[in-house]
Structure 1
Amino acid sequence: MALQAASTNRAEGVWQVLAALAATDGSAAHPLVATLVTPAAAKRDLADAIHAICTIHGRYLFDQVALPDDDTAAEWFAAVTQAFTAERTYLAHLTAAAGPLPSTPGQAEADAAFANQRHAFDMLARSSRKGCAIGAALALILDWRAIRGVLDAAAERFGVMVPPRELPDMDGIAALAATLGDTPATQRAIAFGAEQVFAQHRGLWSLLEARASARDHA
């Protein structure tokens, strides 16, 4: 019983770390996200955000995640893969409806930053450190809740139908984190992978915020 209780406490600790990181370091905490989901958001800022998200996340990623030899995890990620396929289709429709990328000073530098972020996500997904890729994937799913809010706000402005959300809920993410975070080393790797995803997204929103300011003052 004592061993089981210790295991449960460690598993709950993994989820608590992920949830705390999402709340403090995730997209929902960035001021630009709060601005973009309001009716007063500039359409060109929404269009810029949609193009950027499509550039970074508009392709398949979960095929690179190294899963443990666990049927539960494999089934869970298969369902997530299907859900993200629908999200990518939605994102593609939004990008088309948003029209051309808004003209912004420093476009070449922004393109380089977006390419670096794509590379960072690819490296996290291919990480050989047990738990790192899992943590990155879980963080992406957690943070997608806030990103989806921006997508849905853009859909309303650009006349795109909003599809139902099919990604796992918080309980599902917590359950998988508890299953996979079976050792202290794996838990640390999960937290590291998650931290990197949240940091990349913070960088993305800050770049988009700077681009909005540059357009306003051009």
Structure 2
Amino acid sequence: MDSILMALVEADGTAAQPHVQSLCADAGNHGARPLAALADAAHYLCLLHGRFPGVVDHAATRSTDNAARKWLLQVCEAFADERATLTRVSVALGPVPSTSGQNNCDSAVLQQRHALEMLSQSDRRGCAMGAALTLVLDWVGVRHLLDRAAIRAGIEPSKCALPSVEDTLSVARAIAIDEASARAIQFGARQLLNQHRGLWALMQARASIRTTEG
């Protein structure tokens, strides 16, 4: 199970997205366009993951796996700090850049957030945990971008207290006790990555629109 989750994140996760790679590479550029793209990303990440309760909080109320209890407690506490970091970086980067179709973009990300809420409240054993585990694994890529954005905004990146990749994968192995739970974990993982991939595709489209509009 752990190798499957890592393969999914490496293939489809945030760090693998071309737009995120471009944002990280251009973060040190002091032009207006890279700053606008970073502000856009931070704002929509806040819209997707900045509200309590989130994916990991819902998963904590759904999970009955003793093997995941300590991990979930650590994740819930640490992700509260990550939400604060998201807000701090977003504010420091400035307002959302004006882009055609703004209302449609907001609606699309709100729909993504609703989809994640439904996923993380699923009664199917393993589904919510699959989403939570994958969020923590994929957050490594998200955090790398946020740290670059923080530096660009002139603030010191804060330390991330989320569990390590190794600890997270250990929990995935422990709770995948049968084929049904393994399938549910993979389903939750794929669905979360689908939403993240959709977010970055939207951010790339918005950046392209701003470039066209000049």
Unaligned runs of at least 5 residues, structure 1? 1-13
1:18 aligned partner, one-letter code: L
Give the SS at the match of 1:63. Answer: helix
Separation of aligned partners in 1, 2:137 and 2:65: 23
Whether the 8 Å CA contact 1:136–1:190 is kept in 2: the answer is yes
Number of aligned residue pairs: give it: 204
Correspondence 1:91 to 2:86: yes
Match in the other structure for 1:187 = 182
Match in the other structure for 1:103 = 98
> How do 1:39-188 and structure 2 match up within 5 A?
39-40=28-29, 42-60=34-52, 61=54, 62-65=56-59, 66-70=62-66, 72-188=67-183
Question: C-alpha displacement at 1:69, in angstroms?
Answer: 4.4
Separation of aligned partners in 2, 1:99 and 1:19: 34
TM normalised by structure 2 equals 0.93
Aligned counterpart in structure 2 of residue 210 of structure 1, from 189, 196, 205: 205
1:48 aligned partner, one-letter code: D
Whether the 8 Å CA contact 1:93–1:160 is kept in 2: the answer is no
Whether the 8 Å CA contact 1:58–1:92 is kept in 2: the answer is yes
Question: C-alpha displacement at 1:29, in angstroms?
Answer: 1.0
Spell out structure 1 runs of 4+ moving beyond 4 A.
none
Whether the 8 Å CA contact 2:71–2:168 is kept in 1: the answer is no
Separation of aligned partners in 2, 1:212 and 1:20: 28
Separation of aligned partners in 2, 1:15 and 1:74: 18
Separation of aligned partners in 1, 2:163 and 2:4: 18
Whether the 8 Å CA contact 2:130–2:186 is kept in 1: the answer is yes
Give the SS at the match of 2:159. Answer: coil
Separation of aligned partners in 2, 1:193 and 1:69: 16
Whether the 8 Å CA contact 2:65–2:175 is kept in 1: the answer is no
Whether the 8 Å CA contact 1:83–1:166 is kept in 2: the answer is yes
Question: C-alpha displacement at 1:108, in angstroms?
Answer: 1.2
Separation of aligned partners in 2, 1:181 and 1:73: 11
TM normalised by structure 1 equals 0.91
Separation of aligned partners in 2, 1:94 and 1:140: 19
Unaligned runs of at least 5 residues, structure 2? none
Question: C-alpha displacement at 1:63, in angstroms?
Answer: 2.6
